[in-house]
Amino acid sequence: MTIKAGDRMPSGSFKTLTAEGMKDVKTDDLFAGKTVVLVAVPGAFTPTCDARHLPPYVEHAAAIKAKGVDTIACMSVNDAFVMNAWGKASNVGDKVLMLGDGNGDYARALGLVMDGRGFGMGERSQRFAIIVKDGVATHVNVEAPGKLEVSTAEHVLSQL
C-alpha cells in the first residue's frame, strides 16, 4: 500500500554518519511533534539527484525552515557512508539531514519503490517529497518516471 496524505508515517529507521560514528535515526524520533520534509531520491550522486534535486533544498533551507519546518531530511537507498559523502560534496552542512535507507526497508514501507535494474541500480526509492506533521503525511508528492516537478524544493515551499 502506498502512503497518501492523511496517513501516519510507518515506523522504521535510517542510518546516518555523525562525528561520533554511525547512528540510528528512528522515525518516531524524527517525526514526533515536528514538521519534517522527507525528500527521497533514487540515488546519491546520480545526475538529476545531484545536480537538480538536492541543491535547491540546500539553497532554500532557510526559507523552508522559516515556514515552520524543523527538519529537511534526504533519504536514498544508499548506505550512510555514501549519504555522508554526498552531503559533504553538496555542502549540506546542517541544512539537510542525510539518511541512508541502505536496504530499502523504508521505501518499501512507504510503498514507494522502483525497479532500477535496467540501470544497474537494483531496487531503489522513487523520487518524492513528503511533508510530515507530527508523524502524519500532510502532502505526498511522488514524481512520475523521469520527472522532477512535484518533489522540488520550490513546490514543497509553495505547500507550506
Q: Which residues are catalytic?
A: 49
Q: Which helix (H) or strand (E) holds 132?
A: strand 128-133
CA distance 91 to 54: 10
CA distance 7 to 29: 17
Which residues are CB-contacts of 3 (< 8 A; sequence separation ≥ 6)?
A: 9, 10, 110, 111, 112, 130, 137, 140
Question: What is the dihedral sign for C-alpha 15, 18, 22, 27?
Answer: negative
Write out the three cell numbers for 146.
523521469
Q: What is the CA radius of gyration of the chain?
A: 14
CB 155 within 8 A of CB 134: no
Q: Kindly report the number of other CB atoms within 10 A of residue 53's CB atom.
A: 23
CA distance 65 to 45: 25
